Amino acid sequence: MDGLLLQSGTTTPTGTANATANASAGGPVTTLPETISGALGLSGTLGDVVGGLLGAFLIANIMLGMTALAGPWAKRKITAAFTDRIAVNRIGPFGLLIIVADAVRLLSKELIVPDGVDRPAWDLAPIILPFSALLGFAVIPLGSGLQLADPETGIVFAFAAASIASLGLVMAGYASNNKYSLLGALRSIAQNLAYEIPLVVTAASVIIFAGTFQTSEIVAAQTETLVTIAGVAIPGWYAFVNPFAFVLFVVANLAEIGRNPFDIPEAPTEIVAGYQTEYSSVYFVLFYLGEFIHIFLGGALIAVLFLGGPAGPVLPGFVWMVIKMWAFFLFTQWARSAVPRVRIDQLIEIGWKGMLVLSFANLVLTAILVGVIA
């Protein structure tokens, strides 16, 4: 399936499916840095460094380009469609040049530094947010050969990288010397604690099915046909194998990226803009950028864990991966327009009394099911 390969010699609880996928693939995964260094005729440490830097530059620019399209333009067009309004349509064809206009407008604004801020932390916070999201894409298979690294603990690395964003939000709120910002930071801590555990536990149920933390192998384990109905083959994506876990993961993901009904840390009607209240100019752009890259990272994790990654018919794998990430983005924009915000006490109750219990129940049932089958 589009070059998504298993590393040979790995045995898991789903050994038959993995062995079949590995046999059909024909060998270990070739990462993007290896492809680049081979094309340039470089080897050894120099090839690893040059290939890694050029590969990271390529992946980062792909994600930044998608974010530039999603933030200033697509978000407005989608929200306008949901609310029966006319969005940007004056600057350039279909209003696309609003991307350039917004970039010039925001970057040319004065960077205002309030009195009393903790300057080092205040400066670092907006950098941490987009960096953590881009770092998570290092282990995401985007298509044939479009994967920076494929470590054995790949999915753990992706979650660890994404969680660094929480540090940036806390730093921004604390360092701003603003009570609204501090309140937003405290809310973000409470929200992340309440929903990151169900997110990881639900992902663990997928890992039990796949028998590996390696992202390429998780994708390859989903290449088998689950069932054939009226001549139509339904792929063995974990969204079909365990739809309950899929719904849990999507809901927890909404909370992690701060989209309705879980946008409490920056609720504009209550705390102005929360942790980012005191930020302007390029720092505000970095916060905005990080928010949307995290949405696409959330979509990429959903695709890898539940939707077969880049797998899909006819179209190249990279195209399918982009489609799946944009589908999740569209879902978040629908939620933003259609789902009301919950109160902070309701948010905490849903997380600790609802999502946490359901995620552990799903994990136990998955372990029992896999144990019985194995």
Per-position DSSP letters for 178-226, written without gaps between them = -HHHHHHHHHHHHHHHHHHHHHHHHHHHHHHHHT-S-HHHHHHTT-SEE
Tokens at residue 95, please? 């209003």
Burial class (CB in 10 A: 0-12, 13-18, 19+), 48: middle
Residue 93 has pLDDT above 70, yes or no: yes
Residue 20 has pLDDT above 60, yes or no: no
Tokens at residue 255, please? 């909370």
Residue 76 has pLDDT above 80, yes or no: yes
3-class SS at 227?
A: strand
What pLDDT is attached to residue 28?
64
Mean pLDDT of 50-76: 90
Mean pLDDT of 151-160: 91
Mean pLDDT of 72-79: 87
CA angle in degrees (0–180, nearest 5) for 159-58-305: 30
Mean pLDDT of 76-82: 87
Measure the CA–CA gap between 144 and 113, rounded to whole angstroms: 45
Residue 244 has pLDDT above 90, yes or no: yes
Mean pLDDT of 51-67: 91
| pLDDT band with cut points at 50, 70 and 90 for residue 230 | confident
Mean pLDDT of 137-153: 88
| pLDDT band with cut points at 50, 70 and 90 for residue 94 | confident
What pLDDT is attached to residue 234?
81
Query: pLDDT (tens digit, 9 = 90+) per residue, 298-342?
Result: 999 999 999 988 988 888 889 999 999 999 999 998 888 888 888
What pLDDT is attached to residue 296?
94
Query: pLDDT (tens digit, 9 = 90+) per residue, 199-216?
Result: 999 999 999 988 899 999
Percent of the chain with pLDDT over 70: 92
Residue 18 has pLDDT above 70, yes or no: no
What pLDDT is attached to residue 13?
39
* Lowest-pLDDT range of 104-118, 260-274, 288-302: 260-274
Residue 21 has pLDDT above 80, yes or no: no
Mean pLDDT of 116-143: 89
Average model confidence (pLDDT) across the chain: 84
Mean pLDDT of 257-274: 77
What pLDDT is attached to residue 33?
86
Pick 94 or 301 by higher pLDDT: 301
What pLDDT is attached to residue 118?
85
Residue 120 has pLDDT above 90, yes or no: no
Measure the CA–CA gap between 302 and 298, rounded to whole angstroms: 6
Mean pLDDT of 144-154: 87
Q: What is the pTM of this model?
A: 0.85
Tell me the chain's radius of gyration from C-alpha atoms: 21
Q: How many other C-beta atoms lie within 10 A of the C-beta of residue 51?
A: 23
Structural contact between residues 249 and 259, judged by C-beta atoms closer than 8 angstroms: no
Residue 3 has pLDDT above 50, yes or no: no
Burial class (CB in 10 A: 0-12, 13-18, 19+), 259: buried
For tokens 């077969």, what's the residue? 308
Residue 14 has pLDDT above 70, yes or no: no
For tokens 């693939």, what's the residue? 25
What pLDDT is attached to residue 26?
37
What pLDDT is attached to residue 374?
62
Measure the CA–CA gap between 298 and 77, rounded to whole angstroms: 21
What pLDDT is attached to residue 359?
93
Mean pLDDT of 256-280: 79
* Residue 268 preceded by cis peptide, ω within 30: no
Contacts of 252 (CB under 8 A, 6+ apart): 195, 196, 198, 199, 202, 355, 359
Pick 354 or 233 by higher pLDDT: 354
What pLDDT is attached to residue 320?
93
